[in-house]
Structures are given as structure tokens and as C-alpha cells.
Homo-oligomer: A and B are copies of this chain.
Amino acid sequence: MNNQFVIEIGRLHSEVQAKKPIIHHLTNYVTVNDCANIVLALGASPIMADDIEEVEDITAISSALVLNIGTLNQRTITSMLAAGKKANQCNIPVILDPVGAGASQLRNQTIARLLDQIQISILRGNMSEIRFISGSDASTQGVDASERDIANAGQTGMETAARLASKLNCVVAITGATDLISDGKRSLYIQNGHPLLSKVTGTGCMSTSLVGGFAGVTSDYFIAASAGIMCMGIAGEIAFHAVGSKGTGSFHAAIIDNISMLNDQTIAEMAKIHE
């Protein structure tokens, strides 16, 4: 399966560059610039718009909707719900990044409302966030995964992902040292990436945006999630080897560099996935 799967990811990567799908984001103000730049680097076209008076118009001209609650507020929560419902009506995929799930009542309630009122296509978070949403015992470290939760990667983590995917009828992706992707039936481990990625803010958000870019050109959300997350991991590895010794500022720019320079051959050569 893997070889064919990786070739298909390469093909989708080319398709993003050919079709330039518009990816509508309602996201946080911390990492929004990086999300826009990484979507452009992939070859898609980002648009950020969050006012209730325009989110439906913008979602309607888009090929995917990314909802990221990193700096949620009352105004943007309302807009996220409206945009998500519109996306469902238009059969546009909705990718949810539940940043900081477990860290506040507002985040927890908002995630519950989004999952209740919107059919999510892909849910991407770290181990603490996904464990919290799945109802498993989770310990939060703000917006970062806690070390105790990280220890649950592997078989236990994949079971969490698969169970939640079945329950929500969507793809669940848990990113970390090993990334776990499941749609409840299929499952995949990705071992690309580098520990330094956790020292740059927004590498999770950027992964979610890349997933949005791929979801803009395919209705197979399992492969879209895998593709976005694997590309982030590959770019992180190349970036680390190129400039990791300089520090995290240079590494940050090099992540974007290496998404913009990705091609099918690099993807094929560097993919580290297994079922």
C-alpha cells in the first residue's frame, strides 16, 4: 500500500499547484501569517476572513475551510459556526484544529459546539488535545502536549484516534514524534519530522493548513490528512539539516522554504509511513 499511497500524495501535491484551491481560514492571530505563507508555499491560495457578515460568502468561493481555535473569542466562535454550516451545505471539507483543548471551559465548550453543529472532515491536534476530546484522561500543558500524554503515542494512541474517528465520522490526526492518522478503518503512522518543530510556534497550525490545502483537491480526507502532515514532517527534516544549528528563527523560515521547494520525488524518497 505505502508505495502507491506515497505516489498518490505526490500526484495530489501537483494537483494543488495546478488548481490553486482557495482555503478559507478562521484562525488565530498568533500564527496566521505562517498559515497563509505555508498554504501559498504549497501552491494553494489562502484567504483569512472572520466577520459574520462575510464568512458565508467567502466559504462559498473556497475549496476547504480551516477552523483553528487558538485565539478564539465570542465574535469568531459565532463566525466559525456559521462558516462551518455553510461549508457543510456546500460540501466543502472542514478541518478543525482544537488548539488548547482542555485548557479552558471556553475551549472545551466551543469544541463541543463545533463538533455538535458541524460535520468535521478532519480533526488534527496533539495528543493532549485529542485525548481530551475523546474523553480519555488527559493532562494539559497549555497549548502544548504534556509529556504524560505524549507517552500514549503508539498502539494506545492509535486506538484513541480510531475510536474518535468512528464516533465523529471523520479523519483524526494526532501529531507528535510519531503522527497517527485514522479514519476508523484505515490507520497510518508517519515518522517524518524533527523535535525542533516543537520549538517554533504554529507548526501544528501550519500542518492543519497544509491538510486544508490537500483537502481542497480530494474528497479522500484520509490521504489529505496524511499528505499535509507528512509534507510538514519532511520539510522539517530538510530544514533542520539545512539550518537547524543556527537556531529556531532560521529554522522557522526554512520550514516555509522547504514546503515551497517540495516536489514529488522528494516526497517519494523521504516518506516514512507504515500501517
A residues contacting B by CB (< 8 A) are 20, 22, 28-34, 36-37, 40-41, 45-51, 53-54, 57-58, 61-62, 70-75, 100, 103-107, 140-144, 199-202, 246-250, 252-261
Q: How far is the CB of A217 from chain B (nearest CB, A)?
A: 15
Cβ of A246 and Cβ of B252 under 8 Å apart?
no
Of B31, B48, B72, B143, the residue contacting A51 (CB under 8 A) is B72
Cβ of B22 and Cβ of A30 under 8 Å apart?
no
17 CB-based A-B contacts, threshold 8 Å: A20-B141, A28-B48, A29-B48, A36-B202, A37-B201, A40-B200, A40-B201, A41-B247, A41-B249, A53-B105, A54-B106, A57-B104, A57-B105, A58-B104, A249-B254, A249-B256, A253-B253
Cβ of B74 and Cβ of A53 under 8 Å apart?
yes
CA distance A142 to B62 in the complex (A): 8
Chain B residue nearest to A71 (CB atoms) is B48
Tally of this chain's copies: 3
Of B47, B252, B256, the residue contacting A248 (CB under 8 A) is B256
Residues of B within 8 A of A199 (CB): 40-41, 260
Residues of B within 8 A of A48 (CB): 28-30, 70-71
Of B57, B144, B249, the residue contacting A103 (CB under 8 A) is B57
A100-B49 contact given A22-B142, A73-B75, CB 8 Å threshold: yes
A106-B31 contact given A37-B201, A144-B45, CB 8 Å threshold: no
Given contacts A51-B106, A53-B74, A249-B254, 12 further A-B contacts (CB under 8 A): A33-B34, A33-B201, A36-B201, A40-B201, A50-B73, A51-B73, A54-B104, A57-B104, A57-B105, A57-B106, A61-B140, A248-B257
Q: How far is the CB of A80 from chain B (nearest CB, A)?
A: 13
Q: How far is the CB of A129 from chain B (nearest CB, A)?
A: 13
Q: How far is the CB of A201 from chain B (nearest CB, A)?
A: 4
Of B62, B100, B248, the residue contacting A260 (CB under 8 A) is B248
Residues of B within 8 A of A249 (CB): 37, 41, 252-258, 260
